[in-house]
Amino acid sequence: MIIVKNISDLNNIISNQSSKTSNIGLVPTMGSLHDGHLALIRDANKKCDIVWVSIFVNPTQFNDLNDYNSYPNELENDIKKIRTISSKIYVFYPSVSEIYNNGVSSEKFNFNDLDKVLEGKHRPGHFNGVATIVKKLFKTIKPLKVFFGEKDFQQTIIVREIINSYFPKITLITCPTIRNNYGLALSSRNKLISKKALNNSGIIFETLLFVKNNFVKTSYKQLKKSVKQKIEDISTFKLDYFEIRESETLNPYDENNKKKSYRAFICVKVEGIRLIDNLLIN
């Protein structure tokens, strides 16, 4: 396995790879890999001749310094997990200064308000940070296929916008959310909450299933009330937001037209840690 830490070495390897094949796959991550990440890497390994996994905790997509500083960093363990899939996978593990050599700041993008709702509303500037690092990675690694998880559904829509605007030859592959035995969507942040909270965390997915089963016959106002009650019945859980939006556009839910494709989005603060999830509900 080759681990690359600087862009000059990366450019040399990519130049050689690009001359041999165009089927390069990329799985961008922030490390602390779990089974959700590994599912993305396995899918990439099946569909691509060459697979790159980037591991970079990107400071520009954090609007909370404590969140950035507490984000898990487990490179050695991550490498072991990747090696169980294939020893031929390439890993790009740059420093912050390697990526942001002219200062840590985001490029500004126009996403036509896709970045102003849901996570974007609660984390101002977050998606400019995501788009900045994604654009840098795509430009440098030159993948044909990129792999992202459905758990961060809004992020996949933002990435699609970046691809449409700058990289029309790239194919975006979105993989299903991987869950633990309680139904909790896997996330590196899950490691930051207590075992007791993890045991109770199934309520998040249970609540989304409740919404899916009741959204046709129940008013949006009542659904919101029920969701808040279910989540906050657990003392250390606090609902950050719950919304239903159109699946592809993230336009607001039109209660008079329930035939459109809708997705429920939720964010719950568990012991102060933000956990997000979403579910297609019709």
Would you name the residues annotated as active-site residues?
37
Handedness of CA 19, 20, 23, 27 (dihedral sign): negative
User: Which pairs from 97-101 meet CB under 8 Å and 24+ separation?
Assistant: 98/5, 98/6, 98/7, 99/56, 99/58, 99/133, 99/136, 100/59, 100/60
Separation between Cα atoms, residue 190 and residue 175, nearest integer Å: 19
**Is the Cα dihedral 235, 268, 122, 106 positive or negative?**
positive
Specify the DSSP element, H or E, that contains 262.
strand 262-270
Give Cα 187 to chain centroid, integer Å.
9
Q: Which of 232, 152, 259 is nearest to 281 (CA)?
A: 259
As a whole number of angstroms, the distance between CA 117 and CA 109 comes to 15
Rounded Cα gap, residues 51 and 88, in angstroms: 8
Alpha helices in the chain (DSSP H): 7-20, 35-47, 65-70, 75-85, 96-99, 119-122, 126-141, 153-166, 195-200, 202-214, 220-232
